[in-house]
Amino acid sequence: DAGVIQSPRHEVTEMGQEVTLRCKPISGHNSLFWYRQTMMRGLELLIYFNNNVPIDDSGMPEDRFSAKMPNASFSTLKIQPSEPRDSAVYFCASERGDTGELFFGEGSRLTVL
């Protein structure tokens, strides 16, 4: 299995631009999670989905952030417009249903100038 696949691995953009991060979960995993990590705040849960349905988006910082999961094999996290304080590593994870084990992608490092 290829694991959780995230793209892009690195993105540098300018303030005000739209950013779209993508995630392909492990096949057969029914839950998907988006996390953000910074030195100051550590690992923060942004949103998670069960069976493609958003369950808890209380961690999404503000309306500039949105996430979708149109099908079981794809999710996006969009930031529009981006700001320098959005600079972070964004991780996607999917969950093995029978054990609750999370499998994380390698992350997308976002730098907003």
Partner 1 sequence: DAKTTQPNSMESNEEEPVHLPCNHSTISGTDYIHWYRQLPSQGPEYVIHGLTSNVNNRMASLAIAEDRKSSTLILHRATLRDAAVYYCILTWQAGTALIFGKGTTLSVSS
C-alpha of 63 from chain center: 15
Q: Which two tokens stand for residue 27?
A: 């096949």
Q: How far is the CB of 1 from partner 1 (least distance, A)?
A: 14
Segment contacting partner 1 (CB under 8 A): 11-19, 20-28, 71-79, 98-106?
98-106
Q: How far is the CB of 110 from partner 1 (least distance, A)?
A: 15
Segment contacting partner 1 (CB under 8 A): 16-24, 60-68, 75-83, 95-103?
95-103
Question: Helices in 19-103 by DSSP H: which ranges?
Answer: none
**DSSP-assigned letters across all residues of 22-57:** EEEPPTT--EEEEEEEETTTEEEEEEEEETTEEEE-
Handedness of CA 102, 77, 88, 41 (dihedral sign): negative
* Position among 42, 62, 63, 71 found at the interface with partner 1 (CB under 8 A): 42
List interacting residues with partner 1 (CB under 8 A): 30-31, 33, 35, 42-45, 48, 50, 56, 91, 93, 95, 97-107
